[in-house]
């Protein structure tokens, strides 16, 4: 079990059996649920890793398992629609990693920079994300929070 899963379970322990924290391939996890059997499906920094061709299928699967009125929350790296603004966000993020050099952790700067550049290869922009959700059946799709490339939809 990863540290992130342990921390999540610990922080949400008061919820008892009201929720499950699952770890696994997101498509396989979603496929294992019955239709309309989940009230909330939340994902954090996962779906930007899904190849573009699989996203529509996955969003449809998430829609299938949500109860009527259910909620899908995706907190992720979601690029702005404006390519120049996205490039600025990426540049600012890469520049922010320079802090690792000042504490003699150049390897961390290099690793995080490489990670962000690789993520940019399969980037998910806000408009495409919203269109995929709408096409999959979701309504009231919005982006209530954003900071640089991180956003919640």
pLDDT one-digit tens code per residue, 37-80: 999 999 988 888 888 889 899 999 999 999 999 999 999 999 99
Tens digits of residue pLDDT in 98-147: 999 999 999 999 999 999 999 998 888 999 999 999 999 999 999 999 99
The SS3 assignment for 70 reads strand
Q: How far, in Å, CA of 9 to CA of 133, rounded?
A: 28
Question: Do residues 106 and 100 touch, judged by C-beta distance below 8 A?
Answer: yes
* Cα dihedral 132, 145, 45, 79 sign: positive
**Is the CB of residue 76 less than 8 Å from the CB of residue 148?**
no
């Amino acid at each position: 079990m990863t540290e992130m899963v342990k921390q999540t379970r610990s922080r949400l322990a008061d919820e008892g059996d009201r929720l499950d924290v699952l770890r696994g391939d997101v498509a396989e996890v979603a496929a294992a649920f019955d239709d309309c059997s989940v009230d909330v499906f939340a994902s954090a920094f996962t779906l930007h890793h899904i190849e573009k061709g699989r996203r529509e299928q996955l969003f449809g699967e998430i829609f299938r398992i949500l109860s009527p009125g259910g909620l899908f929350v995706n907190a992720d790296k979601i690029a702005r629609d404006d390519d120049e603004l996205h490039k600025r966000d990426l540049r600012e993020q890469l520049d922010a990693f320079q802090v690792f050099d000042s504490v003699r952790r150049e390897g961390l700067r290099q690793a995080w920079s490489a990670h962000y550049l690789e993520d940019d290869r399969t980037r998910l922009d806000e408009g495409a994300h919203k269109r995929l959700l709408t096409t999959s059946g979701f309504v009231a799709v919005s982006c209530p929070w954003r900071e640089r490339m991180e956003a919640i939809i």
